[in-house]
Structure 1
Amino acid sequence: MSVSLILLPLAVAAVAATHGATAGRDREGHVVCEVQTRMRDETLLVAALRDTDAAVVAERGEITADWAGVCAVFRRAEDGIWSAHFTGDVDERRAVEAVRAIDAAYGRQVQRAVLERLREQAPAAGLRLESEQVTEDAAVRLVFAVEGRS
């Protein structure tokens, strides 16, 4: 089976939802549907795919992710919106579930990148990290002290 998904940025997805975005078929008969996502950064997407235990190859503007029995090819259109074409042992439900898992992994990658940037840039801003706490829901609370200013 073959399924193609259009990975809409969350802001675009909200507008599309009000205009009745639905699943359909392309010229080759593949199921095509739209899925809300926050994925923009290619490096973070590759890391997120690896977090879902995919074997990943990224080259020439295309990312291929391979799981046991399922393969997905991600391409970015000129407007910056990613699409994913799934082949193998997959149906629409499984493809959407896979994208949601990838999106969750992507969110964790974004969080990691932001935390790393905060830790790196804090000293230059006159801040010292006092404490860091990770909550049950994986939220991170950082407490910074302002370095002595007179």
Structure 2
Amino acid sequence: MSISLVLVPAAFAAIAAWQAMRPEEQTGAGGLVVQHVQTRMRDENLLAAALTDTQAVVFRTDDVIVAEWVNVRAEFHRDEMGIWQVDFTGNVDAERASEIVLAIDRAYGGQVQRAVLSRLRDRAPEAGMFIESETVEDDQSVTLVLGQGA
């Protein structure tokens, strides 16, 4: 028996995430413009790794993940459902905030894909299976064919 799994890259999912974003602009203290954006991201470690993938300098406090790029700062904090919300400050408007979130979302999806692949590789032998083949396509989708051990 074989099982084929196709893990689609996050680029396709990013379109849906972008459509779900609702950037809200607000003027903060000292006339500072803040863009508020909701994300679909939940895992703190995958988010931090994704931010690093986008060339951000990342640091954490107790409840906040901060990412800094040239002239842009993002502060991620969780909402009541555990989903990360992000506030952008600096040289950023709604369009730039959306571009940054899409880049983070793609990187986050890549991190999720790598984590799932790692778990599949680790757990296949426990389930009496082995990886017959693994193919990475041009669009970064991965096809694993698992075979059942004797």
Normalising by the residue count of structure 2, what TM-score does the alignment of the two structures yield?
0.77
Count of paired positions: 132
- For residues 99 and 46 of structure 1, what CA distance do their matches in structure 2 show? 13
The gaps in structure 2 that reach 5 residues or longer are 1-15
Which of 90, 93, 96 is equivalent to 1:91?
93
User: More deviation in 23-32 or 121-130?
Assistant: 23-32
Which of 125, 128, 134 is equivalent to 1:126?
128
- For residues 22 and 112 of structure 2, what CA distance do their matches in structure 1 show? 28
Give the CA RMSD over aligned residues: 2.4
- For residues 109 and 32 of structure 1, what CA distance do their matches in structure 2 show? 25
Which of 94, 100, 103 is equivalent to 1:101?
103
The yes-or-no answer on 1:45 pairing with 2:24 is: no
Secondary structure at the aligned position of 2:80 is classed as coil
- For residues 68 and 124 of structure 1, what CA distance do their matches in structure 2 show? 46
Normalising by the residue count of structure 1, what TM-score does the alignment of the two structures yield?
0.77
Question: What is the aligned partner in structure 1 of residue 12 from structure 2?
Answer: none
Q: How many percent identity over aligned positions?
A: 51
Deviation of 1:82 (Å): 1.9
Deviation of 1:118 (Å): 0.1
The gaps in structure 1 that reach 5 residues or longer are 1-9
Question: What is the aligned partner in structure 2 of residue 147 from structure 1?
Answer: 149
Deviation of 1:100 (Å): 0.7
Question: What is the aligned partner in structure 2 of residue 138 from structure 1?
Answer: 140
- For residues 56 and 73 of structure 1, what CA distance do their matches in structure 2 show? 10
Larger RCO, structures 1/2 (Cα 8 Å, 6+ apart): 2
